[in-house]
Amino acid sequence: MSKIEWLGKDGITLNPIVGCTKVGLGCANCYAERFARRLAASPSERIRRQYEGVVDKHGWTGRIGVDLSVLDGIAKLRKPTTIFMVSMGDLFHENVPMAALIAVFLTMRRYREHRFIVLTKRPSMMKKFIEKEWGDVPDNVFLGVSCSDQPSVDAMVPIILSIPAAHHIISLEPMIGPVMVNRFLPCRRDNDGDGNCYVHPKCCPPGLSWVILGGETGPGARPLHPAWVRRVRDDCAAADVKFFFKGMFVDGKKTRLLDGREYNGRPRG
């Protein structure tokens, strides 16, 4: 089971691969890197073996630890489940073996009753793999990018939206600066309820279907200003896009409240 709020109370994480390399300002205080150090000293031999060499005293090393046996656990699930595929790395890191990528996508295609969420900071690698090695993305797979500021949003979101898929999402976590996402949301002008624009049917590209937002946690956490969150929340509401607010720190304590309420939007599918 997972403590990641946006997965829901029955959501889980699976890590057939672990490991990463920092690629932007949002990675400075990477929670997964801190957690990986603890797992590298786990009493479980299997876990220690997977995390061996993945992190050192300086952080991520770029080595990828692979354990595809964790995928076998999906067969034991007794009801439809939301599964975050790879929370301790990036599935599309350049050092991930092609065989591991294919095994993950074969698994997600096989278990259509479950909902799989894949986030990356390397959407170009995701696009290349899907177009050249894989093909169609199953409808139960949510493709997303993890961004922290406007430059990363502007660079990554257009790439993810160019990949044909039923669901495109963005995780603004940790959000370290003001961000505008409205131009990446579905067109709501005079549409048919499904985001199809009657006025300009060919000019409106598919938009994001889910926006997740949260502040930074841990030592040296950078502040998240409520005004930044309100802007994204209001843009999502105007576009009828699901919005999930994971929380922020106020006076040294974490809160999931914004203007007195929680935002727990999750898309169907």
Q: What are the pLDDT digits (tens) for 196-240? A: 554 455 556 679 999 999 999 877 889 999 999 999 999 999 999
Q: Is residue 252 part of a domain?
A: yes
Question: Higher-confidence residue: 200 or 255?
Answer: 255
- Give the containing element (helix H, strand E) for 240: none
Among 120, 150, 235, which Cα is nearest to 185's?
235
Among 170, 18, 166, which Cα is nearest to 85's?
18
Q: Is residue 36 part of a domain?
A: no
Question: Which residues on neighbouring strands pair with residue 85, listed in sequence order?
Answer: 14
Q: Is residue 249 part of a domain?
A: yes
The pLDDT assigned to 135 comes to: 93
Q: Is residue 187 part of a domain?
A: yes
Mean pLDDT across the stretch 127-145? 96
Q: Is residue 160 part of a domain?
A: yes
The encoded tokens of residue 148 equal 């922290």
**Into how many domains does the chain fold?**
1
146/234 Cα distance (integer angstroms): 20
Q: Is residue 107 part of a domain?
A: no
Q: Is residue 56 part of a domain?
A: no
Q: Is residue 266 part of a domain?
A: yes
- CA torsion sign for 213, 134, 97, 122 is negative
Domain that holds residue 186: 139-269
Radius of gyration for the alpha carbons in the chain, expressed in angstroms and rounded: 18
Determine contact, residues 211/160, Cβ cutoff 8 Å.
Answer: no
**Which residues are CB-contacts of 236 (< 8 A; sequence separation ≥ 6)?**
181, 185, 211, 242, 243, 265
Surface-to-core class of residue 26, CB atoms within 10 Å of its CB (0-12 exposed, 13-18 middle, 19+ buried): buried
- Give the containing element (helix H, strand E) for 162: none
Among 1-10, 56-65, 89-98, 108-117, the range scoring the smallest mean pLDDT is: 1-10
Q: What are the pLDDT digits (tens) for 89-125? A: 999 999 999 999 999 999 999 999 999 999 999 999 9
The pLDDT assigned to 193 comes to: 53
Look up residue 35 and give its DSSP letter: H
pTM of the entire structure? 0.92
